[in-house]
Structure 1
């Protein structure tokens, strides 16, 4: 019999609050206080547990240190969820839908490439750390002295860092360019993420306190901005044939879906809370039928001359077009799948994007 103790599930679900779980060392102390010193066993290279045995007992005890210590580097496990998603790591929500890929007719080679790419994106530890330690995760104590300590500036490996700290309530606080040494702190943990300040990417819709924040674009210049997006709707043979012959009971599904996409683009700022109200100069909604794989792909192209981009308008347009198609076809089948909603091109502003 092997009894395994895990510090916390789902991983990260407690916002990495060390006050909300019993750590591996605490559990070890509790067991040893009753049964005496445990015997450490040799772990195999790919074990995610730290194995022990109570002397004179035949069973084993394992500890999964999901919160307090790294174990990911030795993990060789891949998991398939009940809804057909591949999960290479239990830390975070990242998943790859193998179900959608198979339904879309992916070959064995394409599936192999998909799985291979997912595995290669797996992090070695809970937080990624590069060769120069410019990105690390460390637990700090939460007390009134924290800001005074950090504001004195910190030097790590003789490098200057930009720090962003999250306390146990999930609130983020930014402290920039710190460079004196930190003294020891009391318990009640902070997580401080440090990186080279030049490479730091902030969430523009979140302020320093972790609250929502609409971006102020008042100082930007008007430029021509174009965004293109796509979305795919996976149908079945019967629905595809009825669409091609325009025999659906509700009418011309493609025409209605395109009109819905145009209306959605115009009303994006009503649907997405922090979107700006942008005057759109042109909206194009097109579609592509694949009668062999029974799917329809919607494409949007949105243009404006403004201070902010129209990526959300493009994405909203293809999403609502797809949902409209679903609504008009759902009486035939409820197994319609909307997938692969993504931005494929963006120009204008400070950066361009192509996919």
Structure 2
């Protein structure tokens, strides 16, 4: 005798097994996504739009050969790993930072915009600052040079680990970099940019300025001879009133060089902590000083800036 066959049972069994395999839930199974690693982890690269700090406009650019000296500050607790902030370098990018005090050089990953003050070149995370011997609240003189490190070093920095230390900068090059920091502004136009401070300026160049040549003895002649003008005399300026402006052109360790430049630009020479600074002015307001600033830059002094007398 043939028994009746219920064709609905196989379908019910399939439904029951499917429910057991998913725990009775209709949610989709999770999909594992591999973390981004390798060169792809450094993309997208963001350059960004120009921005203004005070009266200075900064324009981010993808400059591969960026190389500058200036002062580095230390970031707060929010910056982790061996990272840095910079106003114009792409985010992210990589750079070597050298302490101008010791010559020690480390690699950092530039991840943030900043610092939002005009007189500081860059800002280091606490770990990066400690690797250079800096402490929180301290500003250090540094060289910042953009570089293209191997992927092994990039991976370490992305994992907040220190990349192998770079070759230390020799003292002869450090002396050149210190003088560059003293003789010119590493930034564009911030009026509060120092040209060198205290003992650091003294260490940069402790040589005395050469004595000015003495005037030659007048020739004996039967006709009167007019005395020659004192070409070596430093051009002096009237006292600068508070609130007025001057154009800081450049600083020189040799006073005769400063005198020559001051005469060409119709400026004057002032003492700047052991250096001879060439300045133009004074001007009653910043608008009047702007024309002199353009004249100085057209003469080749691209780091000239406007300063206010306070």
Return the TM-score normalized by structure 2.
0.28
Of the two, which has the highest radius of gyration?
Answer: 2
